Structure 1
């Protein structure tokens, strides 16, 4: 009985010329990591997610440096301005036109230029509370803001409704302003800094504590493994919210309490996963050979077991990062996270919920940032899982 030749894909063959003596396989020889990178680049959702994460990191670090506003600077005259608005053009009687937009939620008029830059709040005359109207004068032209019915409308002296000239983007505040007149975009970028800081801390904790704790537990085994896993179970049974509240009794409420809480308990899931990987690998022949040659526990873990478990570790690490970001956002949302005037995606969402119906843009941007970031890390984790799985190697 003869051995059957291995099946080779047709595209791996080169056509022989008249003078060629032997066949040659045209496919290049790839290492494990080169093949994993090739499969990762072929996964379009993972590549897009990776690009989004890189752009988010660069925007969080360098974005606020290019903005003329700070995350705490307030301007109550320009509060609750939307990122886009309908503009009006009124002839001022001097050969020019005054452009403005109406904020239907607070019945204010704001002057803008032709490009959409917000110039300031327009002061009108005394409000007529009986007729629910307020007069405005632009040169020789008089108009009135009628808010007797919703939505409010701009009317001329004759009572005719003035129609807007078109939509314009807010070039001064790209994401609009909040209830205190602070730039939402800059506060979004500062919120990204806090979320990425939490993600960085979670990564370090999982790497230095979870991986080596789980590796030692799985490799040593026996009673040591039983005691170490009971410690993990005790830590995992404590609710994180209660843990943060207890930490706030010792430390002040803020970002440090969240970081300490995540750093104290977030490594238990990674420890369990690494322990399972080590239990399945420590019975392999190369581990027995290393032990026979006199290799110690630390060398076997760092040189043999953990490198062969790096695929599941990276995938798990990528999946746990969005969980850490969501925990920080949730804690800040319920008031256990960062304190004002610091900006976090959780605090931005909490502040925007109160004015959600009147100013939905204030809730949309932080909610979208949280959702897109979690989607990006999940897509990247799925791509890494497929790329690092040796069963998919060709």
Structure 2
């Protein structure tokens, strides 16, 4: 018997040879500035949505032309300013009306007309015997092809013709020249995005190098380089483009050079301001004490430390360049037909806004969506590289 207040104890386990030693602490994972910025950028839903939207627009513009049957310069004279539709055009009623018109022209009657799987079957009747060459009337039409005599009955007073039907599908309609608007928008996206990216890369390369050299060298060199920037700032941009168009004509390369030659000025001033603050830091003094040349310090220490603000600024330059290109195309100074851009398409749509509003709506949608996506990406990068600046 045990007492009611007694407790049952169990022997303690035998401690092992490592008992009493402290547990190993988990190894700290170090992340670079770029990794931390990427983690913050991924948490920004608007920026990620902007990236997804920009990828879809780029796929639509560069991959889409390989997936459709229409080219940007194909002209369909029977489909001038055709409204958007998911159904093939012309529809069966329009085809029947075209066949009836051909029958009247041949002085016969259209008894029946059917369309199935891209082929038509027309039954013609007449009180007098009909000539088998009547099928040539259908071959001369824009919507019928390969008409053949299937049956010649009732001593030639009843004729059955079969042949192919030329139908086209225009998801976004056609323009005033009968060209597929969706194919034109894809081409316009290629040119607008290419001009935006290439001109931004030019401003990035020239502006970063120019601003870093000006800010680091300082003194008289800085004064001369900045006075040159101010002189270029004073030149009217549109007047400069007009002069270039007069001498060299309109071309894609001209727009790229004109915009790239102006946009690097802002980049140079931003990089110069960052460089003025960086060259007083301790690591720059240490590099000078180690005997590095000015170019080595600029290349190894100054430029890598201004990449964060530069990347953010580039994402804001791209939509600005696209706007400039669209503005030039709107004024008629952009790309030359049959090439086009979103700005040129918007200009044509504004001229036909009442008769064909889809010519203005669809290019404007792609243009606005792309600008919003780029601005969201720029805001996300700004918050990612400088989370305190909110």
With normalisation by structure 2, the TM-score equals: 0.74
Give CA-to-partner distance per residue, 1:11-60, whole Å, 9 cap, x none: xxxxxxx9994584698443222111111111111111111222222322
- For 2:287 and 2:97, locate their aligned partners in 1 and report how far apart those are by CA, in whole Å: 76
Match of 1:188 in 2: 185
Residue 236 of structure 1, CA deviation: 1.3
Greater C-alpha Rg? 2
Match of 1:37 in 2: 38
Matched-pair contact (CA < 8 Å) for 2:79–2:178: yes
Give 3-state SS (helix, strand or coil) of 2:90's partner: strand
Instruction: Say whether 1:269 aligns with 2:262.
Output: no
- For 2:29 and 2:185, locate their aligned partners in 1 and report how far apart those are by CA, in whole Å: 46
- For 2:176 and 2:313, locate their aligned partners in 1 and report how far apart those are by CA, in whole Å: 40
1:112 pairs with one of 91, 105, 114: 91
Gaps of 5+ in 2: 1-18, 103-109, 115-166
Matched-pair contact (CA < 8 Å) for 1:71–1:343: no
Match of 1:11 in 2: none
Match of 1:58 in 2: 59
- For 1:122 and 1:245, locate their aligned partners in 2 and report how far apart those are by CA, in whole Å: 49
Residue 285 of structure 1, CA deviation: 0.5
Instruction: Say whether 1:289 aligns with 2:286.
Output: yes
Q: 1:370-381 to 2 correspondence within 5 Å?
A: 370-381=367-378
Give 3-state SS (helix, strand or coil) of 2:53's partner: helix
Q: 1:140 to 1:228 in 2, by over 3 A?
A: closer
Give 3-state SS (helix, strand or coil) of 1:77's partner: coil
1:360 pairs with one of 357, 361, 372: 357
Match of 2:309 in 1: 312
Match of 1:385 in 2: 382
Give CA-to-partner distance per residue, 1:106-129, whole Å, 9 cap, x none: xxxx53379xxx989947769xxx
1:255 pairs with one of 246, 252, 256: 252
Gaps of 5+ in 1: 1-17, 88-99, 101-109, 127-136, 142-169
How big is the alpha-carbon RMSD for the aligned residues of Structure 1 and Structure 2? 3.0
- For 1:260 and 1:300, locate their aligned partners in 2 and report how far apart those are by CA, in whole Å: 30
Give CA-to-partner distance per residue, 1:230-272, whole Å, 9 cap, x none: 1111111212111100101221123222112112211000000
Match of 1:48 in 2: 49
- For 1:243 and 1:198, locate their aligned partners in 2 and report how far apart those are by CA, in whole Å: 18
Q: 1:211 to 1:140 in 2, by over 3 A?
A: closer
Residue 388 of structure 1, CA deviation: 1.1
Q: 1:120 to 1:219 in 2, by over 3 A?
A: farther
Residue 366 of structure 1, CA deviation: 1.1
- For 1:226 and 1:65, locate their aligned partners in 2 and report how far apart those are by CA, in whole Å: 52
Residue 346 of structure 1, CA deviation: 1.1
1:337 pairs with one of 322, 327, 334: 334
Count of aligned pairs between the two proteins: 313
Give 3-state SS (helix, strand or coil) of 2:327's partner: helix
